Amino acid sequence: MRRRSFLKAAAATGLAASAGAFLTTRRAAVAQPSEVLAAFPDKFVWGASTSSYQIEGAVTAGGRGPSVWDTFSHSFGKVANGDTGDVACDHYNRYAEDVDLMAKAGMNAYRFSVAWPRVQPTGTGPANAEGLDFYDRLTDALLTKGIAPWPCLYHWDLPQALQDRGGWTNRDIAGWFTDYAQIVAARIGDRAKHWTMLNEPSVHAIFGHGLGGHAPGLIGKGNYFKAIHHQNLAQGMALKALRAAGGGKDWQLGTVLSLQPVWPVGGLDANYAASLMWDAVWNRACLDPLLRGEYPELLRDGFAPLVKAGDLEAIRQPIDFLGINYYSRMHQQPDPAGLFGTGYGSPPEGTPTTGMGWPVEPDGIAEFLIELKQEYGNPPVYVMENGAAYPDQTGPKGFVQDNDRISYLRRHMLAGHQALEEGVDLRGWFVWSLLDNFEWAEGYQRRFGLIEVDRQTLERRPKASYHWYADVIRRKGVPTSV
């Protein structure tokens, strides 16, 4: 029985113990790889991901306009330690050094995001030539080193001028985004062949528009529904426009969703309804319209006032691949104060956690990959983000020996390999992240990078995980033991 069907049946009939046994069996099956090198296909894509506001800095250079994250991070108390992305990693000026580090590790792909306010400082109107020039230079530098550019058109840094017009709560943004997408694709699409429309639209809607902890800092279910629907619509319209414009340019078009299995806390009957609701809010609100042309049943009443004739057809566009971001499962229980009446609870006893307090559950990525195969037609999939923040300690020789991060990545890649063995069409892996960066509301206190960035000098220092990953790429496989 498929996971979703089983969970629904369990919620309806009270078979909590049976559901727990089913999922525990899956966990055990994935977590026990054979003691040999887990080899990946020769054409497997190995890369890293970043996002513009988190690494570029240079927020006033080259005609760039302000974004919602400039506004949010400069608002008192919104970001830890008052940190901002004003400088970030200074990738805008140091991109060549970063590209060289990727090349030395053997990476053959780099997913970066394009800053909308660099390209259109006010969000609409003529393109800003200097902003496009930067992505021209970056694209050429990558190709010179044998690294395929994978631009993502939106990773949360909306032009502030568009937010002043309602941002993602304004239906007109679907057209604004489509115009912007075509401008970027027209400039670097002769060289960039893999395009992702959005990064984690559900996360942006939940934390930026529902809970207020991310830019633009809006609160309420109504804003969540608008942000989700208008992102879905913008994505569909942009996919259609780029598909038409691509012609014979052999573009591969897709998008990136955060997909995390949701389990009821403790496997208890009382928590199943909460887990199903949060699964709809986080996962299905973007996945189902894209691949099935419908919103999940639990949320249809909320979306109904927003959906106009033809919207779902516009959203359900063919994609060449689906990017997924995975960090951990989410364990849910009822919480009247939650955005949808649910809240986070404890994972199973003994589950380790990262420096962010997130449970380390590598079998969860295999769980969702296999579900995509069983219930969504087995689309070509790339893991676009997978990584962990830990409190890295620099040793006396200036080197970070981040064994926890290596263990996290190794175990998740082994789970991905298990999914491959079960027929999932998994084609690549992008580690989050290349660099220690501005980690949104957490500022610079959380470090996900394969490469340490000195906050005073901005010097790049590869960590042990960088060298480990380079070895994985060279061998085209993951060691099954330390």
User: How far is 353 from 360, CA to CA, in rounded Å?
Assistant: 5
- Cis bond upstream, residue 407 (ω within 30): no
> DSSP secondary-structure letter at 295?
-
User: How far is 41 from 207, CA to CA, in rounded Å?
Assistant: 37
- Taking a C-beta distance cutoff of 8 angstroms, is the pair 440, 427 a contact? no
Structure tokens given for 457:
């000098």
Give the closest residue to 441 by CA, choosing from 88, 80, 101, 31: 80
- Taking a C-beta distance cutoff of 8 angstroms, is the pair 239, 253 a contact? yes
User: How far is 405 from 466, CA to CA, in rounded Å?
Assistant: 10
Task: Specify the pairing of strand 381-385 against strand 321-325.
Answer: parallel
User: How far is 378 from 203, CA to CA, in rounded Å?
Assistant: 23
User: How far is 75 from 8, CA to CA, in rounded Å?
Assistant: 43
User: How far is 215 from 49, CA to CA, in rounded Å?
Assistant: 21
Diameter over CA atoms, the chain: 64
Task: Specify the pairing of strand 148-154 against strand 252-258.
Answer: unpaired
Torsion sign, CA atoms 367, 368, 374, 378: negative
Task: Specify the pairing of strand 342-344 against strand 262-264.
Answer: unpaired
DSSP 255-276: EEEE---EEEGGG-GGGHHHHH
For 368, the 3-state DSSP assignment is: helix
Instruction: Count Cβ atoms within 10 A of the Cβ of residue 95 and give its class: 0-12 exposed, 13-18 middle, 19 or more buried.
Output: buried
* Position 416, amino acid: G
* Position 404, amino acid: D
Structure tokens given for 305:
């006032």
For 281, the 3-state DSSP assignment is: helix
Query: How is the chain split among helix, strand and coil, in percent rounded to 5?
Result: 45, 15, 40
Show the CA angle centred on residue 231, arms to residues 227 and 233, nearest 5°. Answer: 120
Catalytic residue positions?
385
User: How far is 347 from 354, CA to CA, in rounded Å?
Assistant: 13
User: How far is 204 from 220, CA to CA, in rounded Å?
Assistant: 13
